[in-house]
Structure 1
């Protein structure tokens, strides 16, 4: 388990690299949902997503321990984050991405001066390749979520929310591999255990939902969701026990509900948030998370969108 002290140490370690992201509000959204909603704007974070938090904590640790290079396997946001911080520390990085990776995310990885290698379509394809590259080059492989330093780094979002919203009652978080929500749970449940933490997965990428229902890590087949950052096949060995022990609730949202949240954010709040990042708000707007008159924080986890794909994310 990741401790509260681990998260607090991560907060100090990454302070000079990341943004302390703002909380955004919308009176129209509050009126529509019947509660006070506070949007934690991680789509405005450096590299466009929350991933820079965990990546910075883990890569700094690896470099301090003597790593000569860094590798990662990522569909995009984690790869961007690792590429950025490796470049800042002057360490070469190779990011292994799926063959159908988001074009905008791949271009961003390259812009951070990392090498990109395409490999397969699933994490089962690209993770072994990234690990092999690390072994061949005397480097260190940085997982996207199943790593103590990564989880602790992501947990700093939980600390910030509690600092920014002292009377928050619910925090709603998108769930992929579980690093983000695992970190937030590690921070929040040890600081203010009365705050409910609710996870949200796409209906078509429900590996954590299935795993919690069965009480054990359960793998699912290939997924197809517009929330590409949440297309994991199973939760992590480190993250799943945290969720099993501390998560209050996990809900599922449809593709149309994700599209509705994406479009609302774009049209009404003028915020470009990727579908994965809008998944938590999708649950709130659909009445699946939060309570009437409550104060609900929703993590908008990323904003890296290929502009050419926007028509695919709009409501029918």
Structure 2
């Protein structure tokens, strides 16, 4: 059973002119849950349900938790999502609107995740927000679609939090014979766990994460995302919160799409494409989406501190 929808890949005249190469947008923000997360989460939930799962448990205060709640409702499986105290009322309401039980526990995702693990019993399956092969297999479907929608690009641009999207993109490139396509992995300064992993040669845990791109706020990236750097050409790019917010504003102005700073970071990465991939003639940006933003919030962020 497929829970996600096929999404369009459109050429952006505005961003193509800005970057000096053909830029396409893979618009994952129009998934029923507002983000790419439904691809992997939906796939994992469907597979595990087929194997007899009686309940899904997850730990996420945002897009992954919402996707698990949606998938559970569609499959008729009860869902419990443990969220940290920092989770917005909007996110909790969205998760609850799908019929999921929402439990608030701890001041960080790590604490919420530990509590979620303690809730598991014999009939429950844990749905990780980013670190599981079923998730990557599901996320890879966006590259399967892309292979039917446009010519092979020279690179893919995607944001990196825990690395689930990056791992899915990498898996998709490999299974479609596109191993020569580069990846620009974009993070914000307060969430750069992937850049740290590349520097150290292994996943490392950041002492803390900070900033507005909360959906990128994993203190340690998954191992598969790092392994892919040995199989594919992946370049890391780290930028500021202000640049990520401007990316959101630019996407809204150009294509009427409202997304989180976690997604805006990839749009902001446009200006570094030539530096990292000087010979590239075409690029696809994964518009990963995100429901944790309103137009009013974006305006406040644009005004800066005290705005």
Question: What's the TM-score once normalised by structure 1's chain length?
Answer: 0.89
- Taking the aligned partners of 2:225 and 2:278, their CA distance within structure 1 comes to 27
Alignment CA distance shift 1:298-1:147 (3 Å): same
Q: Contact (CA 8 Å) 2:86, 2:108: kept in 1 or not?
A: no
Q: Contact (CA 8 Å) 2:34, 2:289: kept in 1 or not?
A: yes
> Displacement, 1:291?
4.3
User: Paired residue for 1:234, among 182, 200, 220?
Assistant: 220
Matched, 1:297 2:251: no
Q: Which runs of 4+ in 1 moved over 6 A?
A: none
> Displacement, 1:138?
2.9
SS in 2 for 1:48: coil
Aligned to 2:107: 121
Aligned to 1:149: 134
Aligned to 2:26: 40
Aligned to 2:203: 217
> Displacement, 1:75?
2.4
- Taking the aligned partners of 1:60 and 1:210, their CA distance within structure 2 comes to 34
> Displacement, 1:143?
0.4
User: Paired residue for 1:52, among 16, 35, 38?
Assistant: 38
**Structure 1 unaligned blocks of 5 or more:** 1-12
SS in 1 for 2:190: coil
Q: Contact (CA 8 Å) 2:161, 2:221: kept in 1 or not?
A: yes
> Displacement, 1:289?
5.2
Alignment CA distance shift 1:187-1:44 (3 Å): same
> Displacement, 1:78?
0.4
User: Paired residue for 2:246, among 260, 273, 289?
Assistant: 260
CA deviations on 1:147-198 (whole Å, 9 max, x unpaired) are: 1111110111122222212231111111111111111111203411221122
Matched, 1:75 2:52: no
**Structure 2 unaligned blocks of 5 or more:** none
Matched, 1:182 2:192: no
Alignment CA distance shift 1:54-1:233 (3 Å): same
- Taking the aligned partners of 1:285 and 1:312, their CA distance within structure 2 comes to 24
- Taking the aligned partners of 1:79 and 1:290, their CA distance within structure 2 comes to 35
SS in 1 for 2:285: strand
Higher alpha-carbon deviation: 234-243 or 152-161? 234-243
Q: Contact (CA 8 Å) 1:71, 1:134: kept in 2 or not?
A: yes
Question: What's the TM-score once normalised by structure 2's chain length?
Answer: 0.92
SS in 2 for 1:140: strand
CA deviations on 1:183-233 (whole Å, 9 max, x unpaired) are: 111120341122112211112111111111111110102211211110000
Aligned to 2:153: 168
Q: Contact (CA 8 Å) 1:176, 1:230: kept in 2 or not?
A: yes
